[in-house]
């Protein structure tokens, strides 16, 4: 293939070599996807419907759940479809859509903003209402989405502007920029390197901000005289810290690991860890330590159950 314009589809890496293992992984992905859809859907419904959760922390959590839903719905359904029908193909447009994953890039910006929310709540509680008013929260969330969109647009446009002449087979179960670049026969890697440097610089800036914020948070928490107060403060920060650590370690390893340790099975496991596992675990991590959220989720689930029961009863009559 002389260039990318002649490519009508790509060939993805199967989830497994044998048909039996493919079907097993299909059911595993289906269970994980349903858990992610249920957990994030319940959080979105609970935060949107319960006025007690109309706070900056829960507003950003709602946005995080939206990014998690978008992230998992972009890649996992196609992998399950290919496993079910024992195919490997994905259309050119479908591959572009998978590469344009601004949900993942937006998630790190949202996690940084959520860290700022915790910093203000613990270190500057008297200024919380001023610094994190409804308009400020809306502006910060919009900036996170916009930065993720712009970053994804630049990387997607640059990747598919390169001539692809090394075939159309990708060594990953979804379209990922490092694997598409392996198909290029162009020496124009400087553009992608420049974009990568910009992305790493902005990501590193967010990382430094998170580290600095948590240093200040821990110093403030240790000055709290009561043990109950320290425990409550740590409880509000621990879920966010766990989510950030999981997202950073898996995502950084996936994109910055040396090519010499790039194996299909390892790439698949790492991709699942940073693309599929966080959207599934995030609702569980945040709901376990948040009593208000647990009560709202329980109210939402019981409400859905009673509504479904009444519908069934009325239809039977």
**How large is the average pLDDT for residues 273-302?**
76
Nearest to 121 by CA among 225, 289, 212, 234: 234
Does the pLDDT at position 2 exceed 60?
no
**Better pLDDT: 20 or 311:** 20
* Positive or negative: CA dihedral 90, 176, 36, 42: negative
Does the pLDDT at position 63 exceed 90?
yes
Main-chain phi, psi angles of 10, to 5 degrees: -120, 160
Nearest to 63 by CA among 112, 97, 107: 107
Chain-centre distance of CA 101, in angstroms?
9
Nearest to 256 by CA among 316, 196, 195, 304: 196
Q: What is the mean pLDDT of the chain?
A: 81
Fold classification of 4-316 (topology level):
Rhopdopsin 7-helix transmembrane proteins (1.20.1070)
Give residue 304's pLDDT: 61
Does the pLDDT at position 62 exceed 60?
yes
Give residue 311's pLDDT: 64
Q: How many angstroms separate the CA atoms of 300 and 58, rounded?
A: 16
**How large is the average pLDDT for residues 119-134?**
88
**How large is the average pLDDT for residues 88-107?**
87
Give residue 136's pLDDT: 92
Per-residue model confidence as pLDDT tens digits over 158-187: 888 888 777 888 888 888 887 887 887 766
- What is each CA distance from 274 to 75, 87, 225, 243, 271, in whole angstroms? 12, 24, 38, 11, 5
Q: How many angstroms separate the CA atoms of 238 and 289, rounded?
A: 8
Helix ranges restricted to H, the chain: 19-49, 56-85, 92-99, 102-123, 128-131, 134-161, 177-181, 189-222, 227-256, 264-275, 277-288, 291-316
Of 67-71, 84-88, 181-185, least confident by mean pLDDT is 181-185
Share of the chain above pLDDT 90, in %: 11
- Prediction pTM value: 0.83
Which pLDDT band holds residue 46 (cuts at 50, 70, 90)?
confident
Query: What residue spans define the domains of the chain?
Result: 4-316
Nearest to 12 by CA among 70, 91, 93: 91
């Amino acid at each position: 293939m002389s260039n990318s314009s002649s490519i009508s589809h790509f060939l993805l890496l199967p989830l497994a070599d044998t048909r039996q293992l493919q079907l097993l992984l299909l059911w595993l992905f289906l269970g994980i996807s349903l858990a992610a859809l249920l957990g994030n859907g319940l959080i979105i419904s609970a935060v949107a419907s319960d006025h007690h959760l109309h706070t900056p922390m829960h507003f950003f959590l709602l946005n995080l759940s939206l990014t998690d839903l978008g992230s998992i719905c972009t890649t996992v359904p196609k992998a399950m479809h290919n496993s079910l029908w024992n195919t490997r193909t994905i259309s050119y447009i479908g591959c572009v859509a998978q590469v344009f994953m601004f949900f993942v890039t937006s998630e790190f910006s949202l996690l940084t903003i959520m860290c700022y929310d915790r910093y203000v709540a613990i270190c500057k509680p008297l200024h919380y209402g001023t610094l994190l008013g409804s308009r400020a929260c809306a502006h910060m969330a919009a900036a996170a989405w916009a930065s993720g969109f712009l970053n994804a647009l630049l990387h997607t446009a640059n990747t598919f502007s390169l001539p692809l002449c090394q075939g159309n087979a990708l060594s990953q179960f979804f379209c990922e920029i490092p694997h598409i670049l392996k198909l290029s026969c162009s020496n124009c890697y400087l553009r992608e390197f420049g974009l990568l440097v910009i992305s790493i610089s902005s990501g590193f800036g967010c990382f430094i901000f998170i580290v600095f914020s948590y240093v200040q948070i821990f110093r403030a928490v240790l000055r709290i005289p009561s043990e109950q107060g320290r425990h409550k403060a740590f409880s509000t920060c621990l879920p966010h810290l766990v989510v950030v650590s999981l997202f950073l370690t898996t995502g950084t390893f996936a994109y910055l690991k040396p090519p010499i340790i790039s194996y299909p099975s390892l790439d698949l496991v790492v991709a699942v860890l940073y693309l599929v596992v966080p959207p599934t675990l995030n609702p569980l991590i945040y709901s376990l330590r948040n009593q208000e959220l647990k009560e709202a989720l329980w109210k939402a689930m019981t409400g859905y159950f009673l509504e479904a029961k009444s519908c069934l009863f009325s239809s039977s009559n």
